[in-house]
Amino acid sequence: MFRTWLLTSQDEGSAGYSQGYASLIFGMFRKSLDYALQMGYVEKNISKQSNAIPKGKSNIPYWTKSEFEAVISQIYIEDVYEHLNFVMIWVYFMTGVRVNEGCALQWNDVDFDKQRLRVHHMLIVKNKKEWTRNSYTKTNDGKRMISLDKDTIDVLKKWREAQKKIGLGHENDFIFSYDGLPMLKSTISRIIKRYAKIAHVKPIQAKGLRHSHASLLINELNVSILILSKRLGHSSPEITLKHYSHLWDGADEVITNEMVGIINVSFPSSSLVHFNGNQSISK
């Protein structure tokens, strides 16, 4: 009954939650009953009489290359805080790091000579002044080195110089900061929403920038699934396909367009084969 209530539309007097959120709530409900059973409060876990709610597939909104360009074109980088906003959006879009991975980045994670970014930490935040920079990522494969393009290197160099003017930019300083404190996920979401509105572009979640990066590599650069998987810090290409397969939806049409004219043929002026019996067709 509870399972049905979670999934049924609000129009029918039920919760009307998304399948992913309903899956989370029902899973917590089952664990609570497991604990109650262990403590002797109930005789059995009745939730086990029905199947768990599968998480379902969720397609997270993302920006195309042109939408990204429209957004960053609205940012006045002569203002130090807006400059920070630009750098933050740019780095997330061009690297595909997870939100908490990006918040944890410090200048010692950037190798300007080799043009690489070290992703080895996650920021766990309670509030603006209470946070922990953990030396691990979401998965074991999340610890990785990401190659940076020259444009991103230039963006980071200019921002570090701007930070130095306000007393920051040291090796252990956060990259996404103007006051020495790390940027929060909620702040990132507000910044995205603000400039998306100005640019008349759909707003996306902070993690939508990671999906935007995947879309850029797939649709603009035709990157292989293996390279994309390693860059995003996934344990296998199968995980990448599970989350990003929808980004290939237009790939079949692109392939057919590229196949036009790929085969060259020149037919002979007369038949080169001599047919006998049933194979011969009288004219």
Segment-wise mean pLDDT, segments of 10 residues, the chain, 283 residues: 61 58 78 87 83 69 95 97 98 96 97 97 87 85 92 98 97 97 94 97 94 90 88 86 71 69 84 69 56
Is residue 261 situated within a structural domain? no
In a domain, 148, yes or no: yes
Report the pLDDT value the prediction gives residue 169, as an integer from 0 to 100: 96
26 assigned to some structural domain: yes
Per-residue confidence (pLDDT) for residue 255, from 0 to 100 = 65
Q: What distance, in Å, lies between the first and last C-alpha atoms of the chain?
A: 76
Domain count across the chain: 3
Cα distances (angstroms) measured from residue 232 to each of 34, 138, 185, 205, 235: 36, 11, 19, 17, 9
Cβ atoms of 86 and 75 closer than 8 Å: yes
* Residue 188 placed within a domain: yes
Judge whether 226 lies within some domain. yes
Q: So what's the pLDDT on residue 44?
A: 86
Let me know whether 88 and 150 are in one domain.
yes
Its domain, for residue 105, covers 65-207
pLDDT given for residue 87 in this prediction? 98
The string of pLDDT tens digits covering residues 208-253 is 999 999 999 988 888 888 999 999 998 888 888 877 776 766 656 6
* Same-domain check for residues 72 and 138: yes
pTM value surpassing 0.85: no
pLDDT tens digits, 20-39: 667 777 788 888 888 888 88
Q: What is the pLDDT of residue 18?
A: 63
118 and 173 inside one domain: yes
| Same-domain pairing of 223 and 101 | no
